Amino acid sequence: MAAAGQAAPAGLPVAVDAMGGDKAPGEIVAGARQASEELGIPVLLVGRPEELGDTGDLEILAATEVIEMEDDPGQGVRTKKDSSLVRAAEAVRDGRALAMVSAGNTGATMASALLRMGRIRGISRPAIATPIPRPATHPSVLLDAGANAECSPAMLVQFAQMGSAYATARYGTPRPKVALLSIGEEKSKGTPLVKETHALLAELPGISFMGNVEGRDLLAGEADVVVTDGFTGNVALKSLEGALRFFMDALLGVFDTDEATRGAAQVLFPHLAPFAAAFDPDNTGGAMLLGVDGVCVISHGSSSARAVVAAVQVAHDVATGGLVDRLKQAVDPG
Amino acid sequence: MAAAGQAAPAGLPVAVDAMGGDKAPGEIVAGARQASEELGIPVLLVGRPEELGDTGDLEILAATEVIEMEDDPGQGVRTKKDSSLVRAAEAVRDGRALAMVSAGNTGATMASALLRMGRIRGISRPAIATPIPRPATHPSVLLDAGANAECSPAMLVQFAQMGSAYATARYGTPRPKVALLSIGEEKSKGTPLVKETHALLAELPGISFMGNVEGRDLLAGEADVVVTDGFTGNVALKSLEGALRFFMDALLGVFDTDEATRGAAQVLFPHLAPFAAAFDPDNTGGAMLLGVDGVCVISHGSSSARAVVAAVQVAHDVATGGLVDRLKQAVDPG
For residue B6, pLDDT beyond 60: no
Query: A168-172, B73-77, B185-189, B233-237 — which is least confidently predicted?
Result: B185-189
Which residue, among B48, B49, B43, has the nearest Cα to B16 in the 3D structure?
Answer: B43
Longest pairwise C-alpha distance within chain B: 66
- What are the DSSP calls for A90-126, one per residue? HHHHTTS-SEEEE-S-HHHHHHHHHHHH-BPTT-SS-
Band the pLDDT of B275: cuts 50, 70, 90: confident
Q: Which domain holds residue B251?
A: 129-287
Query: A8-22, A205-219, B101-115, B186-200 — which is least confidently predicted?
Result: A8-22
For residue A279, pLDDT beyond 60: yes
Residues B97 and B191 in one domain: no
Q: How far does B316 lie from chain A, in Å, by closest CA?
A: 30
Tell me, what's the pLDDT at A7? 53
Residues A156 and A20 in one domain: no
The chain A residue lying nearest B132, using CA atoms, is A243
Helix B323-331 and helix B153-171: axis angle, to 10°?
A: 140
In a domain, B215, yes or no: yes
Asked whether the bond before A256 is cis by omega within 30 degrees of 0, the reply is: no
Residues B279 and B307 in one domain: no
For residue A25, pLDDT beyond 80: yes
B216 touches A at CB < 8 Å: yes
B219 touches A at CB < 8 Å: yes
Tell me, what's the pLDDT at B7? 53
Q: Are A307 and A138 in contact (CB under 8 A)?
A: no
Residues A23 and A114 in one domain: yes
Look up the pTM and report it: 0.94
A235 touches B at CB < 8 Å: yes
Give me the mean pLDDT over the B35-52 stretch.
96
Round to the nearest angstrom and report the end-to-end CA distance of chain A. 27
Chain B contact probe: residue of A231, A237, A275 with most B CBs at under 10 A: A231
Instruction: CATH number of the domain at A274, please.
Output: 3.40.718.10
In a domain, B325, yes or no: no
Tell me, what's the pLDDT at B332? 85
Pairwise CA distance, residues A117 & A92, whole Å: 7
The chain A residue lying nearest B245, using CA atoms, is A216
Tell me, what's the pLDDT at B71? 93
In a domain, B281, yes or no: yes
Which residue, among B204, B140, B163, has the nearest Cα to B291 in the 3D structure?
Answer: B163
With vertex at residue A305, the alpha carbon angle to CA B219 and CA A308, rounded to the nearest 5 degrees, is: 85
- Quote the number of domains for chain B: 2
Give me the mean pLDDT over the B111-137 stretch.
94
Pairwise CA distance, residues A46 & A49, whole Å: 8
Each residue's pLDDT tens digit, A90-146:
999 999 999 999 999 999 999 999 999 999 999 999 999 999 998 778 999 999 999
Q: CA torsion sign, A176 to A182 to A185 to A187?
A: negative
Pairwise CA distance, residues A158 & A291, whole Å: 9
Question: Torsion angle of alpha carbons A170, A171, A176, A181, nearest 10°?
Answer: -70
Q: Considering only CB atoms, which chain B residues are within 8 Å of A181? A: 235
- Would you call B219 and A263 a contact, using CB atoms and an 8 Å cutoff? no
Residues B66 and B176 in one domain: no
A217 touches B at CB < 8 Å: yes
Q: Considering only CB atoms, which chain A residues are within 8 Å of B181? A: 235
Q: Which positions ≥6 away from A252 have C-beta within 8 Å?
A: none
Tell me, what's the pLDDT at B8? 54
Query: A8-12, B74-78, B248-252 — which is least confidently predicted?
Result: A8-12
For residue A255, pLDDT beyond 70: yes
In a domain, B199, yes or no: yes
In a domain, B333, yes or no: no
Option in A146, A247, A268 nearest B261 (CB): A268
In a domain, B232, yes or no: yes
Residues B45 and B167 in one domain: no
For residue B29, pLDDT beyond 70: yes
Chain B contact probe: residue of A228, A235, A259 with most B CBs at under 10 A: A235
With vertex at residue B124, the alpha carbon angle to CA B119 and CA B127, rounded to the nearest 5 degrees, is: 75
Give me the mean pLDDT over the B240-265 stretch.
94
For residue A34, pLDDT beyond 80: yes
In a domain, B54, yes or no: yes
Residues B30 and B66 in one domain: yes
Residues B307 and B239 in one domain: no
Of B264, B287, B310, which marks where a domain is finished? Answer: B287
Phi, psi of A313 (to 5 degrees): -60, -50
Portion 267-306 of A in contact with B at CB < 8 A: 267-268, 271-272, 275
Residues A258 and A313 in one domain: no
Which residue, among B235, B26, B32, B18, has the nearest Cα to A236 in the 3D structure?
Answer: B235
For residue A6, pLDDT beyond 80: no
Percent of chain A past pLDDT 90, that is, above it, reads: 88
Residues A142 and A249 in one domain: yes
Residues B113 and B136 in one domain: no
Give me the mean pLDDT over the A309-326 stretch.
96
Residues B275 and B314 in one domain: no
Q: Give the three-class secondary structure for A313.
A: helix
Option in B149, B220, B240 nearest A183 (CB): B149
In a domain, B248, yes or no: yes
For residue A33, pLDDT beyond 80: yes
Band the pLDDT of A8: cuts 50, 70, 90: low
Tell me, what's the pLDDT at A9? 57
Band the pLDDT of A194: cuts 50, 70, 90: very high
For residue B2, pLDDT beyond 80: no
Q: What is the mean pLDDT of chain A?
A: 94
Q: Considering only CB atoms, which chain B residues are within 8 Å of A252? A: none
> Going edge to edge, which strands form the sheet with B99-102?
B59-62, B43-47, B14-17, B99-102, B295-298, B287-290, B127-134, B137-143, B225-227, B177-181, B208-213
Pairwise CA distance, residues A302 & B59, whole Å: 61
Tell me, what's the pLDDT at A10? 58
CA-only gyration radius of chain B, Å: 20
- Three-class secondary structure assignment of chain B: CCCCCCCCCCCCCEEEECCCCCCCCHHHHHHHHHHHHHHCCCEEEEECHHHCCCCCCCEEEECCECCCCCCCHHHHHHHCCCEHHHHHHHHHHCCCCCEEEECCCHHHHHHHHHHHHCECCCCCCCEEEEEEEECCEEEEEEECCCCCCCCCHHHHHHHHHHHHHHHHHHHCCCCCEEEEECCCCCCCCCCHHHHHHHHHHHHCCCCEEEEEECHHHCCCCCCCEEECCHHHHHHHHHHHHHHHHHHHHHHHHHHCCCHHHHHHHHHHHHHHHHHHHHHCHHHCCCEEEECECCEEEECCCCCCHHHHHHHHHHHHHHHHCCHHHHHHHHHCCC
Tell me, what's the pLDDT at B192? 96
Tell me, what's the pLDDT at A139? 94
Phi, psi of A210 (to 5 degrees): -100, 0
For residue A249, give the H/E element and its range.
Answer: helix A230-255
Band the pLDDT of A334: cuts 50, 70, 90: low
Of B263, B287, B311, which marks where a domain is finished? Answer: B287
For residue A3, pLDDT beyond 60: no
